[in-house]
Amino acid sequence: MRIYSVFFQDDLREESADEDDLQTVFLAENKVEVYKKWLNCVKWSLMIIEDPVQFWTQFTKITQKCDEEAEIDKLGLITLKNKDEDKIAILPRNNDEKHTFITLGIGRDITGEQRWKRKMGKLGKEVDFYGADPMTEVNEDLYPQIGKYFPFAVAKNPGYATASVLKNRQYVNQSVVHVDINYFIEKLLRIDKIDNLWMDAEGAEYDLFEIFEKNGSFAKKGIEVCQINIEVHLSETGPNHLNYERFMKFVKMLIREEQFAVFRTEEVIHMRMYMFNFASSFCRHKY
């Protein structure tokens, strides 16, 4: 009886959360104005920092302050809880076309994806899910419950290389097959619009930063991505590691090119953040 009561209470909480989240589609706030306020804040706060280590350590504090000043809650941000982290998203306001969702690095957990599918279903919208992870254990049975599973890693370049993967509840270095992300999107999935991209690439994300550049490979191929949840991994080799500088250059590029906003950052050794594409007319119209 107690177990049943717990599940019943969980169901009630989920239903209540859905009701609150679905109301966000009726927000009439000018979302571009919210972005402009945020952009102005980070320009004055982040662009002046030149030391890569200081940039990393101050990043979350500064961006959270800018989130507050810009009142980003007016965007209709919702939280999708995975087992050990929160993902952020905006529900679509317009467009009845299918919704495309890509998970790079499933990590034996589709809780957040399932919550998104349920909320979208209540809006009468379909979602096409595509998930890639080189570790087939659990993932090959789990992800097909919602979409199509691909048993390989997605990276900047194709090949066979060492990657950090989850095995027996711990991360180990293992040789895995890498598929070029542009080939994956363009040739295997045959899509040019990505509504949600969740990326946990265990370090491979650094080479993938270029897909978010104004003249990057995605832009050249006409591929648009609207919402991104990304985890940027910090090497444990010391404070002078190159990744601090690569991260700083990436964020400053985003600010300078005025395409993607970076909201709801969280530092948990690594850096988690949510990005939205304000430069895309497709994304602005849909969300």
pLDDT above 90: residue 220: yes
Average pLDDT, integer, range 69-95 = 93
- pLDDT tens-digit profile of 11-61? 667 888 899 999 999 888 889 999 999 999 999 999 999 999 999 999 999
Q: 64-86 as b/e, with b when 16 or more CB fall inside 10 Å?
A: eebbeebebebbbbbebebeebe
Count of beta carbons in the 10 Å neighbourhood of residue 120:
19
pLDDT above 50: residue 6: no
pLDDT at res. 110: 96
pLDDT at res. 15: 81
Count of beta carbons in the 10 Å neighbourhood of residue 10:
10
pLDDT at res. 29: 82
* Listed residue (94, 162, 159, 104) closest to 129, CA to CA: 104
Token pair recorded at residue 108: 């034996």
Q: Long-range CB contacts (< 8 A, 24+ apart) of 173-178?
A: 174/134, 176/134, 176/152, 177/134, 177/152, 177/153, 178/152, 178/153, 178/154, 178/204
| Spatial contact of 247 and 256, defined as CB atoms under 8 Å apart | no
Beta strand pairing call for 153-155 and 170-180: parallel
- What pTM does this model have? 0.91
**Whole-number average pLDDT of the chain:** 89
| Spatial contact of 232 and 271, defined as CB atoms under 8 Å apart | yes
Q: How many angstroms separate the CA atoms of 88 and 73, rounded?
A: 11
Average pLDDT, integer, range 189-212 = 93
pLDDT above 90: residue 208: yes
- pLDDT tens-digit profile of 61-71? 999 999 999 99
Weakest-pLDDT range from 196-205, 207-216, 266-275: 196-205
Count of beta carbons in the 10 Å neighbourhood of residue 254:
21
Q: 26-41 as b/e, with b when 16 or more CB fall inside 10 Å?
A: eeeeebeebbeebbeb
pLDDT above 60: residue 89: yes
Please give the residue range of the domain that contains residue 181: 1-286
pLDDT above 80: residue 165: no
Q: Which residue has the tokens 């402009």?
A: 36
Average pLDDT, integer, range 98-112 = 94
Specify the CATH number for the domain of residue 192. 3.40.50
Share of the chain above pLDDT 90, in %: 71
- pLDDT tens-digit profile of 252-275? 999 999 999 999 999 988 999 999
β-sheet bridge partners, residue 198: 103, 229
pLDDT above 80: residue 167: no
20 CB-near residues (< 8 Å, 6+ apart): none
Q: How many angstroms separate the CA atoms of 140 and 132, rounded?
A: 10
Give residue 5's pLDDT band: very low, low, confident or very high (50, 70, 90). Answer: very low
Beta strand pairing call for 193-199 and 224-232: parallel
* Listed residue (124, 117, 95) closest to 193, CA to CA: 95
pLDDT above 60: residue 114: yes
Nearest 10 degrees: CA dihedral of 184, 187, 188, 189? 90
* Listed residue (243, 236, 211) closest to 225, CA to CA: 211
* Helix axes of 242-257 and 31-45: crossing angle, nearest 10 degrees: 140
Domain count, the chain: 1
Give residue 164's pLDDT band: very low, low, confident or very high (50, 70, 90). Answer: low
Average pLDDT, integer, range 72-93 = 94
